[in-house]
Structure 1
Amino acid sequence: MTLTESRPQMLVDEFERIATAAQREGVSMEFLGGKLGVKAVPDGDHDEIVRWVMERCMQHRPDLWLYPERGLKVETYRNGHAKPDGALAPKGSFAGQGEWADADRVLMVLEVTSYDADTDKRDREQKPRAYAETGIPIYLLIDREAGEVLVYSAPEDGLYTTLIRRSFGRIAGLPKPVGIELETEPLKEWIR
């Protein structure tokens, strides 16, 4: 790795100013691994999957709420910022916090893949690393392209030590601290 590859593209303060301005224009930005990224605008099927996960969480864990598009400070290195499709946390966890909140009360983050060129690197590589470094217990990735649910858990030394893959139609268990099972058959309705 060269010196320029390890250096962030910009400072966190600069990113926050740009992201705030972009949000007014309807664009969502993230800052992972020291690199600026634009988050794809979700399609209707993407939104239905987020709604479906939210309903499951509400049914089984009414003490928690799945906060959509909640800006989180992630990564211990380079001060990353991400807006997962959902952040599962106890109700009231983000009261009084700004656009970019601490992730210390988040039990799980949800991402649903988009049909864009950056999905592979962003959702399958950068985000698991960033969320594990932050200590978020579970990263739930609903991979529409592969037709799979991936449950990353047990973060240790900046990496998730457990990964469970389930094809759509099979039960996907979310371990503690969430502790629910997802019957994933309905996900088949929202893929291309």
Structure 2
Amino acid sequence: MTAYDPISEEILLDWFVAFDPPEGFRAELVEGELVLTPPPDGEHEEYLWLIVKQVMKASRTDMQFSGNKGLKLERGGACPEDHVIPDSTFAPTALRLYRGAAPWMPCEGVSMVLEVTFLRPQLDRETKRRCYARGGIPLYLLVDREASSITLFSAPERDDYREVCTRPLGKPLPLPAPFDIDLDTADFL
């Protein structure tokens, strides 16, 4: 583990904020690493759509979602915050979190983030999971294409989630409140 260098971290954060990624690419600052991701493939987008459609249709709480709002997530200590863009973010419509929100918004009020593995699956499986837990996001839903599974992480505490529920794609996955639905993954196969 590298020692914290506040000058280098500040330079990296300044550079990141000023960085203009190529069209269609997403730039994130995750645990001190600049992550540049190209546009996703069609399968990635289909998984997102299948989940968003079910949540919007069946959730007990009226939800808003965003596929392009970045989150500022505290890292603790003197470290600058992470800047992470989930594949999808869900929040109760009544909170109106997205209205007027800058490209990087705080995570307070976000009910769930969703990631679908793409080019760097370990980033979604481990690094982003730690970021979302530190940010106190109650639910993290991960579709792991390589493992053919879907995992719900819940009960965040410090750098991780205390509860993990994994199902193979094709089997339903229960989403707790505020959603209160069984997510059907049969169409994922």
Same fold (TM over 0.5): yes
1:137-156 aligned within 5 A: 137-156=138-157
The letter for the 1-side match of 2:104 is W
Answering whether residue 70 of structure 2 is matched by residue 71 of structure 1, we say yes
- Alpha-carbon separation, structure 2, partners of 1:148 and 1:5: 38
Conserved? CA contact 2:121–2:144, under 8 Å: no
Q: Could you tell me the TM-score, scaled by structure 1's length?
A: 0.87
Structure 2 gaps of 5+ residues are none
Report the Cα distance in structure 1 between the residues aligned to 2:159 and 2:82, rounded to whole angstroms.
Answer: 14
> Given residue 71 of structure 2, which amino acid in structure 1 is its aligned partner?
L
Q: Does 2:116 correspond to 1:112? A: yes
How far apart, in 1, do the equivalents of 2:179 and 2:15 lie?
Answer: 35
Structure 2 equivalent of residue 90 of structure 1: 92
C-alpha spacing 1:164/1:101, structure 2 compared with 1 (3 Å): same
Unmatched 5+ stretches in structure 1: none
Stretches of 4+ moved more than 3 A in 1? 4-11
Residue aligning to 1:185? 186
Shift of 1:5: 8.3
Counterpart position of 2:132:
131
> Taking structure 2 as the reference length, what is the TM-score of the superposition?
0.88
Percent identity of equivalent pairs: 36
**Pair 1:54-2:58 in alignment:** no
CA distance in 2, matches of 1:63, 1:2: 43
Change (3 A) 1:5 1:125: farther
Please provide the CA RMSD for this pair: 2.0
Q: Deviations over 1:44-64 (max 9, x none)?
A: 111111111111111112610
Aligned length in residues: 182
Secondary structure of the residue that 2:177 maps to in structure 1? Answer: coil
